[in-house]
Amino acid sequence: MNHADVYRDELARFVAEMRASQRRVVVVGAGRGGWYTAKVLAHFQVPVDAWTDSNPKKHGMLFDIPVMPMAQAVERFPDACFLPSVLDAANYPPVAGTLDAAGARDIRYLMPDILFSYFSDVTRRACGPEALAKTIARLYPEPGSPAPCRSPSVSYVITQKCTLNCQDCGAFVPDNAKPVTYPASRIVDDIAKYCSAFDVVHHIALQGGEPFMHKEIEEIVEGVSKIPNLLFIDFVTNGTLVPKASVLDAMQRHGACVIVSDYGPYSSKIAQLAEACAGRQIFVDYYRYQGNDWGMQTPIYPRKRSPEKNAEVFTNCIANTMICCQIMNGKVHRCTFSNFTQELKLIPELPGDFVDVGKYQTGCAELTAEIRALANRKSALSACDFCPADNRNFVPAGIQLPKSKRKQPRPIQPVNDGCS
Ligand code: SF4
Ligand code: SF4
C-alpha cells in the first residue's frame, strides 16, 4: 500500500469508529495543528467536544467549542478519544506522556493522516495526493527509517513594495527608492529550484514588503502548490490589506495560510482580513510584538571587526541559531540583512554569501550541494562585518516614518557605536 492509501485508510477507520461508537473527541492543542484537526473532523462530520491547551490565554471558546486545561478535559471526558495535534512529531512523546499522567485512556496520534486529508480532501494541493503523501511521510518518518534532509526555515520576498514605512524595517523599505516586484513565474521557478535541494521543505513564508500588493498571487499560490516536496504555504502580511475574493479563493483552494505581523494601530485591516479568511476556512495566525523587540536600524558601514569577532557575531546571531534562508530575485541568502543590503547595493556584492539559483538546472547535484552548504554554513558571512547584530538598541515594532521621510537614502557613514 502506498502512503496516500495508508493515510486514507487510517483516517477512514478512525472516522468510522467515532461515528459508530459516538465517543467524545478532545483535540489537544488549540493552535495550528488543532485547527487542521478540527477542519478535517468537521469535513467527516465527527464532532469535537473540547480542546485542551496549556496556554491559559486560549481558554474559553473556539469555534463554539470549549477550550480548557488538559486535566479538566480528562476529568470531564474520561472516556474520550484524545487527539494530540502536534505538528512536530518530536514533540509528540512528551504530550502523550502528559496526557497519560493526567489519566487519559485513549490517545491517538493521527497528525500525518489529518494533514494528508486537509490538503487533499478539505483543500486540493496541486502537487497531487501521491506527492503530498510522500512529503508528509518524510516529515513524519517511521521509527528506524533514515532521517530525510530537511530545509531550514525559508522565506521568499515576492515584492519589495510595502503599504507601511517602518523606521526600523529589516527589508529597508524606507531606503528603497525603486521597490521591485518579481514576476510569478520567476518566484515559482526559484522556489522549485530551492526545494529540489532537499528531501522535504516544511514551509515557505511568502513575504515582502507587503505580499498582498503583488498582483499575481493566484498564479504564485497555484505554482507553489505544485511543488511536490513542500508542505505549508504561508503569506506573511502586515494586516493593512484584504486580498480580493478570487485571491482568497485561490489561497483556500491550495490550503495556504496567513500569518499577520500585528503592528497595532498600523495594521488597520486585521479584523476584516480575519473575517474574510474565516469565511473561507483559511488558517490565520498572529505575531504580536511586545515592548522593545525590534532591532533599531543603524547606518551601514564596514565595522572592520577581527575575523574572530565576526565569527562570534555570526555564532550568536539568531539567523544562525534558528537557521534560516531567504530568497529574492533568484538568490538564496542566509539572512535578511545579507539579502537586502546586497540587493539594494547598501553594501558591495559578496558572491560567497549567496547562491544564485538562476545559474543551475532544477534538481542538479551542484545546486543541491551549494544550497545545502549555505544552509548549513557555520562560518561568518562577509556581510556580518557590515551588520550591527551585536550592538544595536531595541525599539517597539512598527514605528512609522513620516511621509516626508519616505524613500530617503539611509546615511552610509560610520557612527561611534562602539563596533569599530
Ligand atoms: S510592514 Fe514595515 S517592517 Fe514590514 S516590510 Fe513593510 S515597512 Fe518593512
Ligand atoms: S549578516 Fe551575519 S550577523 Fe547579520 S543577521 Fe546576517 S548572519 Fe546575522
Q: What is the mean pLDDT of the chain?
A: 93
Query: 334, 378, 390: which to mutate for ligand 2, most atoms within 8 A of CB?
Result: 334
Residues 232-245, mean pLDDT to the nearest whole number: 98
Task: Kindly tell me if the per-residue pLDDT of 14 is higher than 50.
Answer: yes
Cα-to-centroid distance, 169 and ligand 1 (Å): 5
pLDDT (tens digit per residue) in 311-331? 999 999 988 888 899 999 999
Residue 160 Cα to ligand 2 middle (Å): 20
Q: What is the pLDDT of residue 414?
A: 42
Ligand 1, CB cutoff 6 Å, lining residues: 162, 164-166, 169, 171, 173, 208-210, 238
In the chain, domain spans: 3-133, 149-405
Residue 321, pLDDT score: 87
Banded pLDDT at 7 (limits 50, 70, 90): very high
What dihedral do alpha carbons 359, 360, 362, 366 form, nearest 10°?
-150
Atom of ligand 2 nearest to the CA of 386: 1
CA of 6 to the centre of ligand 2 (A): 43
Ligand number nearest to the C-alpha of 268: 1
**Percentage of residues of the chain with pLDDT beyond 90:** 84
* CA 158–ligand 2 middle distance (angstroms): 21
Q: Whose CA is nearest to atom 6 of ligand 2?
A: 335
The ligand 2 site (C-beta within 6 Å) comprises: 313-314, 317, 319-320, 334-335, 337-338, 381, 383-384, 387, 389
Task: Specify the ligand 2 atom closest to the Cα of 388.
Answer: 4
Q: What is the whole-number distance in angstroms between the Cα of residue 312 and the centre of ligand 2?
A: 11
Strand partners, 60: 67
Cell numbers for 173: 523599505
Confidence at 390, pLDDT banded by 50, 70, 90: confident
The minimum-distance atom of ligand 2 relative to the CA of 381 is 2
Mean pLDDT, residues 30-35 taken together: 96
Whether the pLDDT of residue 420 is over 80: the answer is no
- Please check the confidence at residue 239 and state whether its pLDDT lies above 90: yes
Identify the residue whose cell numbers are 530568497: 327
- CATH architecture of the domain with residue range 3-133: 3-Layer(aba) Sandwich (3.40)
Measured in Å, residue 363 CA sits from the centre of ligand 2 at: 28
**Cell numbers representing residue 167 in the block:** 523606521
pLDDT tens digits, one per residue of 140-158 = 988 888 889 999 999 999 9
pLDDT band at 82 (very low <50, low <70, confident <90, very high): very high
Nearest ligand to the CA of 169 is 1
| Residues 175, 155 contacting (CB under 8 angstroms) | no
SS in 3 state form for the chain? CCHHHHHHHHHHHHHHHHHHHCCCEEEECCCHHHHHHHHHHHHCCCCCCEEECCCHHHCEEECCEEEECHHHHHHHCCCCEEEECCCCHHHHHHHHHHHHHHCCCEECCCHHHHHHHHHHHHCCCCCCHHHHHHHHHHHCCCCCCCCCCECCEEEEECECCCCCCECCCCCCHHHCCCCCECCHHHHHHHHHHHHCCCCEEEEEEEECCCHHHCCCHHHHHHHHHCCCCEEEEEEEECCCCCCCHHHHHHHHHCCCEEEEEECHHHCCCHHHHHHHHHHCCCCEEEEECCCCCEECCCCCCCCCCCHHHHHHHHHHCHHHHCCEEEEECCEEECCHHHHHHHHCCCCCCCHHHEEEHHHCCCCCHHHHHHHHHHHCCCCCCHHHHHCCCCCCCEECCCCECCHHHCCCCCCCCCCCCCCC
Residue with cell string 491517538: 108
Q: Say which ligand is closest to the CA of 310.
A: 2
Report which ligand 1 atom has the smallest distance to the Cα of 165: 7
Contact 197, 230 (CB under 8 A): no
Q: pLDDT at position 405, please?
A: 62
| 416 confidence band (pLDDT: 50, 70, 90) | very low
Tell me what the mean pLDDT of segment 408-414 comes to. Answer: 51
Taking the centre of ligand 2 as the mean of its atom positions, its distance from the CA of residue 124, in whole angstroms, is 38
Cis amide bond preceding 170, omega within 30: no
Per-residue pLDDT tens for 87-114?
A: 988 899 999 999 999 999 999 999 999 9
Please tell me the predicted confidence (pLDDT) of residue 408: 55
Q: Which of 167, 180, 238, 260 to mutate to test the pocket of ligand 1 (most atoms within 8 A of CB)?
A: 238
pLDDT at 410: 58
The ligand with the least distance to the CA atom of 389 is 2
Give residues with Cβ within 8 angstroms of 259, minimum separation 6.
205, 234, 235, 236, 237, 284, 285, 286, 287
Q: Between 129-139 and 3-21, two packed helices, what is the crossing angle to 10 degrees?
A: 80
User: Which long-range contacts does 13-20 make (Cβ < 8 Å, 24+ apart)?
Assistant: 14/108, 14/110, 14/113, 15/44, 15/46, 18/46, 18/81, 19/45, 19/46
Report the pLDDT value the prediction gives residue 419, as an integer from 0 to 100: 27
Looking from the CA of residue 208, the nearest atom of ligand 1 is 5
Distance 103 CA to ligand 2 centre (A): 47
Closest CA to 212 of 170, 248, 172, 265: 248
Task: Kindly report, residue by residue over 373-382, the tens digit of the pLDDT.
Answer: 999 999 999 9
Query: Which residues, including other chains, have CB under 8 Å from residue 348's CB and lie 6 or more apart?
Result: 342
Q: Residue 418: is its pLDDT beyond 70?
A: no
Q: Which ligand has the minimum distance to the alpha carbon of residue 390?
A: 2
The listed range with the strongest mean pLDDT (116-130, 312-326, 388-402) is: 116-130
Which numbered ligand comes closest to the C-alpha of 399?
A: 1
Share of the chain above pLDDT 70, in %: 96
Tens digit of pLDDT for each residue in 172-225?
999 899 999 999 999 999 999 999 999 999 999 999 999 999 999 999 999 999
CA pair distance 113, 7, nearest whole angstrom: 5
CATH of 149-405, one of 3.10.450.50, 3.30.950.10, 3.20.20.70, 1.10.3720.10: 3.20.20.70
Pairing of strands 60-62, 50-52: unpaired
Q: How much distance in Å is there from the Cα of 210 to the middle of ligand 1?
A: 7
Residue 78 pLDDT level (bands cut at 50, 70, 90): very high
Q: Tens digit of pLDDT for each residue in 329-353?
A: 999 999 999 999 999 999 999 999 9
Nearest alpha carbon to residue 192 among 232, 152, 225: 225
Q: Which of 321, 338, 347 to mutate to test the pocket of ligand 2 (most atoms within 8 A of CB)?
A: 338
Residue of the nearest CA to atom 8 in ligand 1?
169
